[in-house]
Amino acid sequence: MESIELRRIHKSFGALHVLRGASVRVEAGTSGVVMGGSGSGKSVLIKHIVGLLKPDEGEVFIGDTRVDTLDGDDLDRVRLSIGYLFQSGALFDSMDVAENMAFFMERHTDLTPAEQRDRTEELLSWVDLADKLHAQPAELSGGQRKRIALARALVLEPSIMLYDEPTTGLDPISVRSVSELIVRLREERGLTSVAITHDLLCAEIIADSVHFLSEGCIVASGTLDDVKRSDHPAVVPFFESTDTTGS
């Protein structure tokens, strides 16, 4: 298990300065949640952890390994220890569920087809979707797609999980179901995880620590209650509006 740390990350896209010195530390074996409004740069921040984006300034560490300077095979080795649940699920829509699951195992493991099938069935049972083995992604509901994508992210047995808006667009029951799977992952497998979300229910269920991102900076950190008590002008209206809408 390894900690994750982003130090003073700056990132611009042309004239748009998205991150302005954001720093986040998530201890090994815990779940850190980055919250913030739409367009605050949460997705940009999490993509730095896995090297999908390189910071203009700042450093990214996984354990003692500095990730932002890695490239090629070195970066690939780090990536293989990370599972990533994308906002859209990112299931390959030209393949059925079984092929989606097998795709990464075929390329990165020495498992026989029978062993791959066993692992696929085990993970699909774990997300309670064993009957969807041969379903096409288009036939799945939003919640099912997220759970299958979560199962796929686990096929290479990562030690770190990243979740990009894991519950966006889901009904409250699916939000609870996906969030509880994330908690189980941490408890059963001891994974270090970082989730970005603006979903308060999800954060309440999964967060050990919360970091609030506004205008490219982390403006409040701590437990969810600590952050809720913050009097920062960006944080107060965020929690007031989510309490009002009951989300």
Partner 1 sequence: MPSDARPSVLTRAFAEIGLCSEFIVTFFLRFWRRPFEGRELLRQMDDVGSKSFLLTGVTGFAIGIVLAMQSRGTLMRFGAEAVLPSMLALSVVKEIGPVITSLVLAGRLGAGMGAEIGSMRVTEQIEALEVAALKPYHYLVVTRVLACFFMFPILTLWTDAIALVGGYLESILASGMDYRIYFSTAFESLRFSDVLIDTGKTSIFGLIVGLVSCYLGYSVRGGTREVGRAAMKAVVMSSLLILIADVIIVRISLVLFGSL
Count of residues that interact with partner 1, criterion CB under 8 A: 22
Q: Does 133 bind partner 1 (CB under 8 A)?
A: no
Would you count residue 82 as binding partner 1 (CB under 8 A)? yes
CA distances from 147 to 39, 110, 205, 226 (A): 25, 25, 16, 30
86 part of the interface to partner 1, by CB under 8 A: yes
What is residue 88's DSSP assignment? T
CA distances from 64 to 17, 68, 186 (A): 28, 12, 21
Candidates 26-34, 83-91, 165-173, 197-205 — which segment interacts with partner 1 by CB under 8 A? Answer: 83-91
Smaller CB distance to partner 1: residue 6 or 219? 6
157 binding partner 1? (CB under 8 A) = no
> Which residue among 56, 93, 118, 243 contacts partner 1 (CB under 8 A)?
93
* Neighbouring C-beta atoms of residue 112, cutoff 10 Å: 9
Q: Of the two residues 5 and 165, which places its CB atom closer to partner 1 in the complex?
A: 165
Q: Does 80 bind partner 1 (CB under 8 A)?
A: yes
Question: Under a CB-based contact definition with an 8 Å cutoff, are residues 213 and 20 in contact?
Answer: no
Q: Identify the residue among 56, 76, 139, 157 touching partner 1 (CB under 8 A).
A: 76
SS3 letters across 164-230: ECCCCCCCHHHHHHHHHHHHHHHHHHCCEEEEEECCHHHHHHHCCEEEEEECCEEEEEECHHHHHCC
Task: Closer to partner 1 by CB, 61 or 104: give it.
Answer: 104
Spatial CA neighbour of 46 closest among 176, 165, 185, 158: 165
Cβ nearer to partner 1, comparing 150 with 205: 150
Does position 183 interact with partner 1 (CB under 8 A)? The reply is: no
Q: Is 239 near partner 1 (CB under 8 A)?
A: no
Select from 60-68, 82-90, 118-126, 215-223 the region that touches partner 1 (CB under 8 A).
82-90
Which phi and psi (to 5°) does residue 209 adopt?
A: -140, 150
- Cα–Cα distance between 164 and 149 in angstroms, integer? 12
Query: Which residues of this chain interact with partner 1, rule CB under 8 A?
Result: 15, 50, 52, 75-77, 79-80, 82, 84, 86-88, 90-94, 104, 107-108, 156
